[in-house]
Structure 1
């Protein structure tokens, strides 16, 4: 996990995690009231307006109390952390083999790439609320889809069979996506620390490639589940090595798709206990109530003055 500090990934601008709004201290509220009182006293001492000064002071105090009520001050309250919507949903990383090895036909007559596309659709249906990231590879990696919860747009893209054109077939590397996957995981840990990270590797392996195969060096304790799905039997040793490096099981792809035991179960969001939250005693109701009383008094006095002025005009 130390890589997060030494190589911090760029934050996702679409991540709109809610942040708690801190309420002002009572000391600040007291200072505002004292400032208002000092201003009123100075006005009273210079103008000697008598009863009119008291009315203006009451009106100003009511306005100040309403402003303070909007800030919702509390006594003996503790700051609550507001959980971002979807912060507990899993992050699913799909590492997809796009090499020419995936063009070979499978047991059902379809190409391995076509079968992998169907399996990706199965994974999307299995985790409908998850965030997905797709990393393709052949001789090198390609980030095809950054981590996003936009499953509606992702599905038609990844369900189309795709293979990369590689001039030299011997340069295919089963571990080509190791670095990209590593930093995608680090970014996910930074943005969604409470979410589980699932990694699914869909590939045929490399049975005869003389190219040195890179290894997956993923951050410790970050991968919560997933599997390496093998297509064909010629690259099984390489795929088993990838599974061991990732810390996930190896599963041979069946004709019906990904076996059910390869689909990790992800617990739903933790339910908050029922009952009122321990947020302390809120003072907004007392402040707004006092302000309402002051405004009602001012309204009564204003209507009374208006009625008296009208009677005086009638007498004249």
Structure 2
């Protein structure tokens, strides 16, 4: 158990002492004067409410068994960029009967679970890129977006116009922005795609700023994925290439170091159950009782005054 007072502790102690002393003096005077008990009890009622409010202001917290937990420090939270191929190639069902995009969505969920306190950005692409989710730490809202990722509607030449490096320019500027905003944070890039095996266009190159990518992986989906293109993307980003020829769990496929959580500063914070509301509720009840008694007395006095006037 610990205290988190909303006012200086000495001030709260002084207030409590004054209230207790006032109650003791009132009891002594009542015994000496022999006044009615109703006035005494009402005074004690208000004094007790005041003491309960002082107790509420001290914010008593009952600590859990685990008194500290590890949280990533704000400016050190990693930035993770998810570059997702949304071309018709990702609709092919050659991963144990499942579509490539279905397995890719499962892998995205694994990555979000592995990094629960980081910033994510999602860049989709086919023949052109799109920023589907700007860099944000709101993973709760990100999950529904990932669940709805599907390949773009295909046309007669969509697959042949897909470019495996279409997201290169957008990713470069997003990396520059992330490094400027969070210079102390590490940056991971995960590329999920098939390598545009049917494309008639030469793939554009990824040119991230020097030292801007600290880890990640290129995940290649499908039995007919263009591994040469995907390995080229991995070399340009400076991350390992991971083939995804089936629907096996992602954690079993990634090489060591591909998803190691970056070292971040941590802060130890106390966790527990707040109890300030209990005395606050008690004080509110006592004050409501006194308010009721005051209104009742006013009503009685008004009736007596009317009767005397008539």
Q: TM-score range by the shorter chain?
A: 0.5 to 0.7
CA contact (8 A) 1:91 1:195 kept: yes
Tell whether 2:259 aligns with 1:269.
no
1:226 counterpart (208, 216, 219): 216
Query: For residue 228 of structure 2, what is the aligned residue in structure 1?
Result: 237
Pair 221,268 (structure 1): closer, same or farther in 2 beyond 3 Å: closer
1:116 counterpart (78, 84, 104): 104
Q: Which runs of 4 or more aligned residues in structure 1 lie more than 4 Å from their structure 2 counterparts after TM superposition?
A: none
Tell whether 2:246 aligns with 1:251.
no
CA distance in 1, matches of 2:262, 2:199: 40
TM-score of the superposed pair, with normalisation by structure 1: 0.57
Query: For residue 121 of structure 2, what is the aligned residue in structure 1?
Result: 133
Query: For residue 51 of structure 1, what is the aligned residue in structure 2?
Result: none
CA distance in 1, matches of 2:73, 2:215: 22
Pair 242,267 (structure 1): closer, same or farther in 2 beyond 3 Å: closer
SS at match of 2:135: strand
Query: For residue 49 of structure 1, what is the aligned residue in structure 2?
Result: none
Query: For residue 153 of structure 1, what is the aligned residue in structure 2?
Result: 141
Tell whether 2:95 aligns with 1:107.
yes
Shift, 1:165, TM fit: 2.3
Query: For residue 181 of structure 1, what is the aligned residue in structure 2?
Result: 171
CA distance in 1, matches of 2:262, 2:238: 20
Aligned length: 190
Query: For residue 89 of structure 1, what is the aligned residue in structure 2?
Result: 77
* RMSD (Å) for aligned C-alpha atoms: 1.9
CA distance in 1, matches of 2:171, 2:254: 24
SS at match of 2:264: coil
Query: For residue 198 of structure 2, what is the aligned residue in structure 1?
Result: 208
CA contact (8 A) 1:89 1:268 kept: no
SS at match of 1:239: helix
SS at match of 1:202: strand
CA distance in 2, matches of 1:103, 1:178: 22
Pair 212,148 (structure 1): closer, same or farther in 2 beyond 3 Å: same
SS at match of 2:175: helix
1:68-83 aligned within 5 A: none
CA-to-aligned-CA distance 1:145-166 (integer Å, 9 cap, x gap):
0000000000111123411124
Shift, 1:108, TM fit: 2.2
Shift, 1:260, TM fit: 4.0
1:165 counterpart (153, 165, 170): 153
Query: For residue 297 of structure 2, what is the aligned residue in structure 1?
Result: none
TM-score of the superposed pair, with normalisation by structure 2: 0.58
Tell whether 2:207 aligns with 1:217.
yes
CA contact (8 A) 2:73 2:264 kept: no
Pair 223,85 (structure 1): closer, same or farther in 2 beyond 3 Å: same
Identify, as 1 or 2, the structure richer in strand.
2
Q: Mean alpha-carbon deviation: is it higher for 152-161 or for 168-177?
A: 152-161
CA distance in 2, matches of 1:245, 1:104: 26
Query: For residue 303 of structure 1, what is the aligned residue in structure 2?
Result: none
Pair 245,267 (structure 1): closer, same or farther in 2 beyond 3 Å: closer
CA contact (8 A) 1:120 1:159 kept: no
